[in-house]
A and B are shown apart, each in its own frame.
Chain A
């Protein structure tokens, strides 16, 4: 029985895998190239790199192709791949003030030093279908780029400096304070140790950085709507590339490349102390791979919410961090598809006994479930 049944299981898996591959290609369309996915689905790549916790655009493109665009499977695959890679360095702290800024806004002030730079955003577009994309060719693309570049007068462009931060303005005026001066500042690596609660802030921020965007969005939205109110303003949202540096074996700091990140500094009021009844401002911080503004903003809101005390779900570290972990929640919700008939059988046994006890109490034997149950199962 063992061999035959198992062969059956193995065959079933092999066939299922084949079938999945068949579904992926059966329309006989031109196979998409990794480079195309990487270039034309940039934002999707950014999302799953963040959730996969691995900055590797080509690999992200590959897994998206492999999984027919399933974002949960793709992020999961990147995480699993990450776990096999050798760990060589911890980087030096990213200096986001050194960012080559591509987009940068602040809702807190109308004008800011360095200016409000809309950059590449769809925020102010109208979400109307563009039928012309159905007819796109390399030719139309080239024409667009030629026209675009034609409008630029390269000689009149200034060099782009690095841009200082809006929060520095508030800090220098003494208006920005720590939300929690006593908090645990221990640096941990959540991929190397299991987190216990209450978790230090470094652990919370790391988990938020790799959290599933939709989960963060739901909880941050709940905070805005009054389930543990966080009324935050975007102090600054910036997106661009920052250099990554590590210390080599001799202790020298070396730059090894650049990554694109989105950073959000969300400003809200601290809880007023009796000693000091001035409603200072404090920071909720968000940072993630690529251009993922929703995630960075929601990270900032939840960072603040988790440090504000209170009973709402978004204010509980355990609730937020456990349940926005995309790979774990994806696995566990779907694991219900696994067979559970042994546990189920155990419950059935209890249930039948309970029914029998009830029927006995009523003196109602002879009809119904009790009789059958008694005959066939347990006492």
Chain B
């Protein structure tokens, strides 16, 4: 990873999130060397720190680790669900990567979320409004991108639902009546509604039956190939990572312990923790 590289879509430097009262060396005294995220002096939690990576257009980056490793926090920071404590993130699709997007106003952040990014959560209730219909959820994204033609909105929503294999005749039903797998598909439709260059997937299949998981993962892989979207895929499951990603970062106690091509990491893990993960892969 070279700072003079160009052509990246997303550039992340020193992304850090600390909960509670940090002191100047909270970061120093936490991490995989200490086996803990918790600052011994102030009980501040260093959810993630010193995260550095680049993401290229059309690339799928995996983020793997156990619970508490900071992987979900990472995407939440990038999607502005949480406010970062420190760090710089540049996004070339916004303005050629000139601004640190973490410092944008709420309005501009929301603009980015509407036009340039999509997020699929583990829990559909986080990504969908169950008070609206499935079509309504997709419509929300389209409306916020400036599409105010109901006919065309419904056309696009139908198209997206079809693509994600959700029966179009259920477009006007609320997702509350759908199965878990279908709810995730609606989330995916919503996330790609405006053709964003970047998609975040946070443990999207973790709550599903194994057979349903396989189908949803297949769908994601298929969409990625067809649309060429960059993705950041968060999972604790190496099988998911293996299936979807080109490169992977391994997180432990909020830090990156290893990063590289997914194939290489799976075949020849260097870090002890990564070795442990790979060896427990079924």
Contact = CB atoms under 8 A, between A and B. Distances in A.
A and B directly contacting (CB within 8 A): yes
Contacts of B43: 274-275
Interface string B30-62: 000000000000110000000000000000000
A181 to B, nearest CB: 12
A275 B42 CA distance: 7
Nearest to A276: B43
Contacts of A275: 42-43
A274 B43 CA distance: 7
Contacts, number: 3
Contacts of A274: 43
How large, as a class, is the contact surface on chain B? under 10
A261 B43 CA distance: 44
A275 B23 CA distance: 15
Nearest to B44: A275
**Interface secondary structure of B, over-half rule:** loop
A274 B39 CA distance: 12
A274 B42 CA distance: 10
**Interface secondary structure of A, over-half rule:** loop
A275 B41 CA distance: 10
Contacts of B42: 275
B74 to A, nearest CB: 23
Nearest to A273: B43
Nearest to A275: B43
Interface string B113-143: 0000000000000000000000000000000
Interface in B118-172: none
A274 B37 CA distance: 14
B96 to A, nearest CB: 39
A311 to B, nearest CB: 15
A275 B43 CA distance: 6
B207 to A, nearest CB: 23
Nearest to A274: B43
A308 to B, nearest CB: 20
A21 B43 CA distance: 70
B64 to A, nearest CB: 28
A274 B40 CA distance: 12
Interface string A56-72: 00000000000000000
Nearest to B38: A274
A275 B45 CA distance: 12
Interface string A255-291: 0000000000000000000110000000000000000
A275 B44 CA distance: 9
Nearest to B42: A275
A7 B42 CA distance: 76
A127 B264 CA distance: 84
Interface string A90-112: 00000000000000000000000
Interface string B80-122: 0000000000000000000000000000000000000000000
A295 B42 CA distance: 41
Nearest to B45: A274
A77 to B, nearest CB: 42
Nearest to B21: A275
Interface string A144-158: 000000000000000
Interface string A161-195: 00000000000000000000000000000000000
A72 B43 CA distance: 52
B21 to A, nearest CB: 8
A355 B43 CA distance: 63
A122 to B, nearest CB: 49
A274 B38 CA distance: 11
Q: Which 3 A-B pairs have the closest CB atoms?
A: A275-B43, A274-B43, A275-B42
3 contacts: A274-B43, A275-B42, A275-B43
